[in-house]
Amino acid sequence: MLSETKLKALKEISGDFSRDEAVWASGFLAGIAGISAAVQHQVTSDIDTDVVSPKKITLAYGTETGNSKKLAVELAGVIKKKGVQVKLADLSQYKPKDLAKEDLFFIIISTQGEGDPPVLAKKFYDHIHENDLNISHLKFGVLALGDSSYPLFCKTGEDIDSRFEVLGAQRILPLKRCDIDYEQEAHVWAEHILDVANKTKESSQKTAVAVKTSTGRKKYQGKISTIINLNDIGSDKETYHIEIETEEPLMYSPGDALGVIAFNSKDEVEEIISLTGIDPEKQIKTAKITASAKELLYKHLNISYLLKTTVAQYAQITGHSIPEVRLSLLDLLRIYPVKNADELEQFIPVLTGQSPRLYSVSSSFEAHGDSEIHITVAKSEFFINEKKQNGLCSGFLAEFKEGEDIEFYIQEAKHFRLPKPEKDIIMIGPGTGIAPFRSFLYERDAVGAEGRNWLFFGDRTFVSDFLYQAELQDFLKTGALAHLDLAFSRDTAEKIYVQHKLEQKAEEVYHWLEGGASLYVCGAKEPMSKEVEKTILNIIQDKGKHSPEQAQNYLEELELSGRYVKDVY
C-alpha cells in the first residue's frame, strides 16, 4: 500500500489524465512492478469493460446556404481538440457505398422548400431511400437544422433518421431538431458525441437527456412612421423604404433581419366565406390556436399558395380527384368546390400556419437609435392564369399607411456580421440586396470605422431605379464609401450586371482580398449570386495565377474564415 503522502501525490498527478494516459500509466507502473504482458492485458481489459473505446467518427453535412457546413467544421474542431479523430464529409460528394466502412456516423443537415433535402445532398438522400442497404453495424445520430415557423420543420433530418433506423442502423443519439438559434444546442450535441466516443456506457446513456429548447421570439409593437416608394416615375418596379418606430427600446445589429407575419387579403377571405357559406364566427380549433373561421383565414393560416400535401388532404376530405398542384385556397374552392360548409370547417385545421417573411434590416442601431428600424421591400408581382397577383407579405407591407400599427420580431443573423472596424469590406448587392449594406455603411460611418468600404450596386435604370441614390453619393463624398460601382442593365444596348463590374475591377478586387477584405453578397440567389461567384472564382484564378481547384479552395477558405458571406434568396 502507498503511504498517505505518496497516494496524495499520485492523485494530484493523475487527476487530469485522459483515458489513454491512464491506460498508458497503468502499463508503465506494471512494467516497473514486473507484471507480465498477459497479466497487464487482463488489467487493461478489465478497465475497458464499461468503456466505449475512442474511435474515429465521421461527421457529414448537407447544406444549401452554408450553415450546416460551417457548423460541421466548427464542431469537428471542438471534437478534435478533445482527442477524438473526426473525418468531415460533404454529402454532395459522399459515396453511399462507403457507409459499409463506417462505425460512428453523424449527420448535420438542413431542410429546404417543402421539406426537401438540400440540392447538393439529394443524391445521397435518394440513394438511402431507394435502396435496401445493410447498415446494421452502423451507429448514428442526426442533427436537423430548420425554422419552426415553417410547417415541415427539419423534415429532411427526420427522414434520414427514420430511414437509417429502418435499414437497421443503431441510433445512439436521439434525433436533435434545432431551430434558427442552434449554436448552443449544437455544441451540447457535440458533447454528446464525445460521450459516445470517449466515456463510460453510463455516461453515453445520458446523451438521451433532452436539451431545453430555445425560447420563442420576442415580438415588438411598432408604428409605421415613413413609407416611401424609392422607384421614380417610369419604373415598372415598386421598392418601398419603410421606417418603423417603437416605444420599447430595440436591440439589433447590422446584418439582422426583421420578421413579419402578413395577414391575408380581406377581400379574398370574404369571398371564401361567401363561396362556402361557413359561419365566419364559428370557433375552430387548430394546432396552435382556437379562433373564429374569419380570424383564422385572415390572420393565422396560409391560404395563398397551398402545399401539394395540403391540396392532397383537401382532395381526401372533399372526394375530388385533384392532380398534384399548388393552388390558393380560393382557386381550389372555385375549381373543386366543397359540398357544404362542414367540409371547409373540417379542412381549416389542415391548413399550415402563416409563415413569417424576413427582410434585411437597412438601418443602423448606432446611427438611427434604439426606437426605430428600417427595411427595404420590393413589391412582388406575378401572374397566375393571366391574373395579376401580389406577393403576400410585400403586398401587405406596401399597403401600410403612415401611423398604422405593425407587429414584428428581430431575426439575428450571426453569419452575416461586419468584421473588425479596421478591416476592409466589399459589398455586392443589386436591387433590394442593398438593404443590409445601407445598414453596414451607416454603422461603419457612425462608429468611425477605419476600414474601407466598396459597394457594387445594380438595377434596371439609373433614372428610375437607383435606390438610396442621394445617400450613397453622400457616403462617397465623405469617404465612408471608398468606391461605388454601378450597373444599370437597361441603360445600355448590352445588359450590364454587377458581375461585369467586378470583372472590370478584377485587379483591385483581388488586391483587396489579398489584403484581408471581407466579401459580402446579398440579393437574388438565381441567377445573380451564382454569376457573381463564378466571376469571383475567375478573378482569383486569373489574378492570383491559381488553377481552378486552387481558386475554389481559396474561396472556400474565405468562406470558412467568415470573409465570404452570402445572404441570398
pLDDT tens readout for residues 422-479: 999 999 999 999 999 999 999 998 888 999 999 999 999 999 999 999 999 999 988 8
CA 407 to the chain's CA centroid: 23
**Percent of the chain topping pLDDT 90:** 54
Q: Please give the Cα distance from 50 to 200 (Å, whole number).
A: 6
Cell digits for 339?
A: 359540398
Kind and range of the H or E run holding 241: strand 239-246
What's the pLDDT band for 76 if we cut at 50, 70, 90?
A: confident
pLDDT in tens, 107-152: 999 998 878 899 989 999 999 999 989 999 999 999 999 888 787 8
Average pLDDT on 385-392 reads 60
Are the CB atoms for 329 and 351 separated by under 8 Å? yes
Residue with cell 369571398: 271
pTM for the structure as a whole: 0.65
Q: Which amino acid is at 427?
A: M
Are the CB atoms for 455 and 483 separated by under 8 Å? yes
Which conformational region is residue 403 in: left (phi greater than 0), alpha (psi within -120 to 50 degrees), or beta? left
Q: Tell which residue, 173, 172, 175, 182, has the closest CA to residue 159.
A: 175
- Cα dihedral: 455, 461, 466, 472 (round 10): 40
Q: Please give the Cα distance from 273 to 276 (Å, whole number).
A: 5
Which conformational region is residue 381 in: left (phi greater than 0), alpha (psi within -120 to 50 degrees), or beta? beta
Predicted confidence (pLDDT) at residue 43 exceeds the cutoff of 80: no
Q: Please give the Cα distance from 102 to 21 (Å, whole number).
A: 26
Q: By 3-state DSSP, what share of the chain in percent is helix, strand and coil, each rounded to 5?
A: 45, 20, 35
Output the pLDDT for position 1. Answer: 47
DSSP summary character for residue 381: E
* Exposure string for 250-272, b = 16+ CB within 10 A, e = fewer: bebbbbbbbbbbbbbbeebbeeb
Predicted confidence (pLDDT) at residue 568 exceeds the cutoff of 50: yes
Predicted confidence (pLDDT) at residue 48 exceeds the cutoff of 80: no
Q: What is the set of domains in the chain, with CATH numbers?
A: 56-198 (3.40.50.360), 266-350 (1.20.990), 425-568 (3.40.50.80)
Are the CB atoms for 58 and 87 separated by under 8 Å? yes
Least confident of 49-63, 85-99, 476-490, 513-527: 49-63
Are the CB atoms for 91 and 121 separated by under 8 Å? yes
Residue, of 196 and 214, whose pLDDT is higher: 196
Cell digits for 551?
A: 481558386
Q: Please give the Cα distance from 432 to 418 (Å, whole number).
A: 19
Are the CB atoms for 408 and 329 separated by under 8 Å? no
Output the pLDDT for position 45. Answer: 35
